[in-house]
Amino acid sequence: MREISLVSFRADADRISLPWQPAGRLQRPTEAGAIAVTSACDSVSAGGILGLGYVLAGNEAATELHDSNGIFRNIRLTPKPFYDTAKRRPRAPW
């Protein structure tokens, strides 16, 4: 069985309640470009939906990711951790 890697992502979605978690059992990604989304929330820091999921190891740099549930689209990977560890970004617009 191929190894998987945890990734952080930003995405778009319609008609979901946030924070989001998968309903039922999560399916392991089996192909390049697939992501198994484990959680997502509306993030002020990210400017939209920020989530976590698993991809096949070695595919962390895939240009196009697709959610097997079809809930999330325009999935873009973000660095982990997403938050500003160096504290260079202001936390509020003021």
Instruction: Give the pLDDT confidence of 55-88 residue by residue, as tens digits.
Output: 998 866 666 899 878 889 999 998 776 665 666 6
How far apart CA 75 and CA 50 sit, in angstroms, is 10
Tens-place pLDDT, residues 16-63: 787 888 888 888 898 889 999 999 988 777 778 989 999 998 866 666
List, in order, residues 6 or more apart from 34 with CB less than 8 Å away: 55, 56, 65, 66, 68
Q: So where are the chain's domains?
A: 4-78
d(CA 5, CA 53): 8
pLDDT of residue 52: 92
pLDDT for 30 equals: 87
